[in-house]
Structure 1
Amino acid sequence: MSEVSPEESSKKGVSRRGVLIGGAAGVAGIAAFAFLSSRGSGGVSTTADCITTDMSASEPTLAVSNWPEYIDVDDGDYVSTLTQFQEDSGLQVTYTPDVNDNLEFFAKVRNQLGACQPTGRDLFVLTDWMAARMVQAGWMQKLDKANVPNLDKNLISSLRGPTWDPNRDYSAPWQAGFTGIAYNRALVPEVRTMDELLTRADLKGKVTLLTEMEDTMGLLMLSDGADPENFTDAQYSAALDKLSKARAEGQIRAFTGNEYINDLAAGNIAACVAWSGDVAAADNEDLVFLPPEEGMMIWSDNMLVPVQGLHKANAEKWINNYYDPKVAAKLAAYVWYVCPVEGAREEMESIDPSLVDNPLIFPTAEYLSKTHGFKAITDAERAVLEKEYTSVIG
C-alpha cells in the first residue's frame, strides 16, 4: 500500500494550490529568491559528481511530493490511479501531499539542493515559475526520453515548449488550471470584471484576493488593459495602486490561499479571485467560476526529478504512466483541473460523459484564447515585485 497522509482522504476541501503563509514564510520566500539569485545564472552544475547513482534497478521504491487534494484516492470498489500504478509497476510509492506553497516548499529543500544532497524525494510538483527557477539553477535531472515516450507523444500542444524548458527535457505538466473570478450566486448577481469585484457596493467587505502575486496582479493588470506577459514597471505600479485603494476603502476582506472556497460556500464572502479546480471540486451549485471579461490567468504544475533523486527511472515510470490517456482521464475526472494529456478527452467518454465538454478540464481553443501567462522574470525582479505586493496586502 502507498503511504498517503490524512489530507488525501477526501476529494473535497483544500486543493492543490496553497496559501503563502504570512510572517516567517513571507520572509523565507524573499530569502529564497535572494538565495537563488546568489547562485548565479548557472546555479549548481548538474554534473556527474552531483547527480546521484540511480538505485531504481535494485530498489523498487518511489517518493513523490505533490500538492494536497491533487490525486484520486481509493474509495470502496474504486481503485485509484496510485494504487493501480503500484500494482502494475511493482513499485512501492510514498506519496506525500506536502507542497502547500511554492516558496514554502522551496524553503524545505533549498539547503539540500544547494549542497547537492538528497531531499528524501524522487519527484516533486511545482508551478511554472518555481519549476523554471529550479531548472535554471541546475537542480533538476534531465529526463531520459526513452523512458517517457508518452510525454512527447501525448502532451497537449498548448503546454509544449515553455521558454524555460522548450523541449520538456526536465519537466512534465501534472495538471493545469485557470485563475479568474468566483462568486456565490445565492448572495449576489454575476461578477463580470475585476473592477466590479473591487468597487461594487454590494460586495464591500465580502471579497478575497489571492496571496500569490502572479494570480492577483496578473488579473489586475489585465483589468487596466496591460499584458501580464509583457508589462512595464509603471503598469505594475498602477495595478498595485488600484489594489491598495480597494483595500483602504474596505472592499477586500482578506488575502488568502485556497481556504477562500470554504468562506465562499458559507457566505462569509460573496466573490473572490479563485482557481478553477477549487470551485469545481467544491461541488456546490451556488458557486460559479468565470473568466473576467478582460481575460484570466493560466498556469501549470510540473513534475520534476531533483539531481539527488535516488530513483530517477522509477520516477520516469510514474510520469509515463500518467501520460497514458486512460490514466489521465481517470485522474482528471477526480481532480477537475485542465488535463495535459492528448487523448484523455476521448477516454473520458467511457468514464464520465458529462465531463467531455467541460472547459475547465478540456478547454477549447476559444476558451484558451482568453488566457494569459505571467512574464518570465529574474529572481531579483521577482523579489522586488513580491516585496511591493506584500507591502500592500500586509
Structure 2
Amino acid sequence: MRPVSKTSLSRRSLLRAVGGTAALGGLAGCGVPAAYVKPGDRAAVDHSADEKRLDWANWPLYIDTDDDDPNARPTLEEFEKRTGISVDYVEEINDNDEFFGKVSPALMNHQPTGHDLIVISDWMCARFVRLGWVQEMDRARQPNVAEHLDPLLREPAFDPGRRFTVPWQSGITGIAYDRRKLGREIRQVSDLWASDLKGRVTLLSGLDEAFALLMQGNGVDITRWTADDFHRVCDQVAAQVRRGQIRRFTGNDYTKDLVSGDVLACQAYSGDVIQLQADNPDIQFVVPEEGAELWSDSLMVPDLARHKANAERLIDYYYEPEVAAELATWVNYVCPVPAAREVLAASDEEETAALADNPLIFPDATMRQRLAIARDITGAERVGFAKRWNTIVGL
C-alpha cells in the first residue's frame, strides 16, 4: 500500500452548472411525473446467483492500483478471487452532469443502464433518489456497512438512513492557503476577504461545490439553510467580485494557482491538499472555526440492474476495515470507515501508519464537531439559484 500519486488531482470533476445537460438537469430536479419511477417498477429479475458478474461505473483514479501494474486493482481483484464474481470496472464518470445526461434517457424510459453499480456525488445522488432511479439496498446483505459506516455520514437530508446510497469516499470543502507566502494563519471564512488577499483568492465555480462553506461563514446551519441564506451569500460574493477580491472562479485548476503563488488562499478539497503537501508542507488546509462541508461520492444500484445482490456484496466488502484501509492509502480522501484507522496505525510501514493520524483522512474529535452535510438544492430551487450564481461567476 502507498499514498496515491499526484495524478489524482484531476479526479474531482470540473462542474458545469448549466451546459449541454441543462434541460435534463432541470427535468430531474423538478421531478417531472413522466420521469418518476414508482418503487414497484424499479427492480428487475436478479441474475446474481446464476451470473457471477457485475458492471461498475466509477470516476478515474478512484481505486487502488499496483505499483508495478497501473491496470491492476488489488482490492477489486481480491474481491473477485474471494467471491468468484467478475467485475467489469469502467472509469467512465468524469462529470456528474455529463453522466446524468448519458444515463437519464434510459432511466426515465424505464430501461436498464447496463450498470449494476455507479458512483456519483451526493448532490447528484439526491436527484436520482427523488426520481426513483435507484433501488433500496438490502442491508441484511451488508453487515459491514451497518456496523462500520461513519455516523457523520448516516443521515443526509436526501437519503435518511442511507437506504439508497452508501458513501464510497468522502471529503471536506474548506480553505487552502500558503502559510509561508501569506505570513499568517487563516481561521475563518471571512479571512478570505482581508485586504492583503485582494486579487489572490479563488472560489469554486460549481454552485453545489461552493455555496455551503460560504453559508457556514455566516453562521448558517447548512443542514437546514434557506433561500434567504443563499441570496445573502450571493450578495456577498458579488460584492467581493466588484472590489476585485476574487481573482477568478475555478474547477480543479485552483491547485495550479495555489502552487504557482498566483493565489494565496482558496476554496479547496481536502484530498487535493494532502497531495499538494507532499511537495510543499507550507500549504495548509483549514476547517474554518464556523465549520466546513462534509460531502461524499456515493455508490448506488440503478433501476433494473441485473446483478443487484452481487453489487450489494461488493459494497459490503469495501466496508471491511482492512479493505477500506488499503483503499484509503491510495485515494487520500476522508475514509467513511473509521475502524480502518486502527488498521493503518498497526502497519509496519511508517508512511502508511502516519496516515492514521492525518485528520483529513480520519477527522479528529475537534474537527468532526465542525463538519456538516449540507441540505441539497431542490429541483424547485435549482433553476433560479443556478441562474443567479452563474451570472456572478460568469458562466
Residue of structure 2 equivalent to 1:90: 84
- Cα distance, 1:378 vs structure 2: 2.4
Alignment-mate amino acid for residue 381 of structure 2: E
**Which of residues 337, 342, 345 in structure 2 aligns to 1:346?**
342
- Cα distance, 1:389 vs structure 2: 1.0
Residue of structure 2 equivalent to 1:331: 327
Alignment-mate amino acid for residue 354 of structure 1: A
Q: State whether structure 2 residue 12 is matched by structure 1 residue 17.
A: yes
Residue of structure 2 equivalent to 1:3: none
- Cα distance, 1:155 vs structure 2: 1.3
Alignment-mate amino acid for residue 358 of structure 1: N
**Which of residues 283, 286, 289 in structure 1 aligns to 2:285?**
289
Structure 1: gaps spanning 5 or more residues: 1-8
Alignment-mate amino acid for residue 66 of structure 2: D
The verdict on how the C-alpha distance between 1:11 and 1:122 changes in structure 2, with shifts beyond 3 A counting, is farther
**Which of residues 35, 43, 46 in structure 1 aligns to 2:39?**
46
Alignment-mate amino acid for residue 155 of structure 1: L
Question: Following the alignment from structure 1 to structure 2, what is the Cα–Cα distance between the partners of residues 300 and 193?
Answer: 23
The verdict on how the C-alpha distance between 1:24 and 1:257 changes in structure 2, with shifts beyond 3 A counting, is same
Residue of structure 2 equivalent to 1:355: 355
Question: Following the alignment from structure 1 to structure 2, what is the Cα–Cα distance between the partners of residues 280 and 322?
Answer: 22
Alignment-mate amino acid for residue 197 of structure 1: L
SS at match of 1:59: coil
Number of positions where the alignment pairs a residue of Structure 1 with one of Structure 2: 382
Moved more, 11-20 or 112-121: 11-20
Residue of structure 2 equivalent to 1:5: none
Contact 2:75 2:323 in 1 (8 A): yes
Contact 1:173 1:340 in 2 (8 A): yes
Q: Deviations over 1:58-95 (max 9, x none)?
A: 33332222223321111138963123222323333222
The verdict on how the C-alpha distance between 1:13 and 1:302 changes in structure 2, with shifts beyond 3 A counting, is closer
Alignment-mate amino acid for residue 133 of structure 2: W
Residue of structure 1 equivalent to 2:158: 164
- Cα distance, 1:211 vs structure 2: 2.0
Contact 1:20 1:104 in 2 (8 A): no
Alignment-mate amino acid for residue 258 of structure 1: N
- Cα distance, 1:175 vs structure 2: 1.3
- Cα distance, 1:135 vs structure 2: 1.5
- Cα distance, 1:252 vs structure 2: 1.9
- Cα distance, 1:42 vs structure 2: 9.0
Question: Following the alignment from structure 2 to structure 1, what is the Cα–Cα distance between the partners of residues 139 and 221?
Answer: 35
Residue of structure 1 equivalent to 2:193: 198
The verdict on how the C-alpha distance between 1:304 and 1:216 changes in structure 2, with shifts beyond 3 A counting, is same
SS at match of 2:39: coil
Moved more, 267-276 or 59-68: 59-68
- Cα distance, 1:31 vs structure 2: 4.1
Q: Deviations over 1:90-111 (max 9, x none)?
A: 3332223333332222122111
Q: Deviations over 1:300-334 (max 9, x none)?
A: 22110001222212211210110100000111122
Contact 1:72 1:334 in 2 (8 A): yes
Residue of structure 1 equivalent to 2:143: 149
- Cα distance, 1:337 vs structure 2: 1.5
The verdict on how the C-alpha distance between 1:145 and 1:38 changes in structure 2, with shifts beyond 3 A counting, is closer
TM-score under structure 2 length normalisation: 0.88
- Cα distance, 1:377 vs structure 2: 4.2
Contact 2:28 2:35 in 1 (8 A): no
Q: Percent identity?
A: 42
Alignment-mate amino acid for residue 307 of structure 1: D
Question: Following the alignment from structure 2 to structure 1, what is the Cα–Cα distance between the partners of residues 152 and 115?
Answer: 29
SS at match of 1:167: helix
The verdict on how the C-alpha distance between 1:107 and 1:200 changes in structure 2, with shifts beyond 3 A counting, is farther
TM-score under structure 1 length normalisation: 0.89
SS at match of 1:47: helix
Moved over 4 A (4+): none
Residue of structure 2 equivalent to 1:270: 264
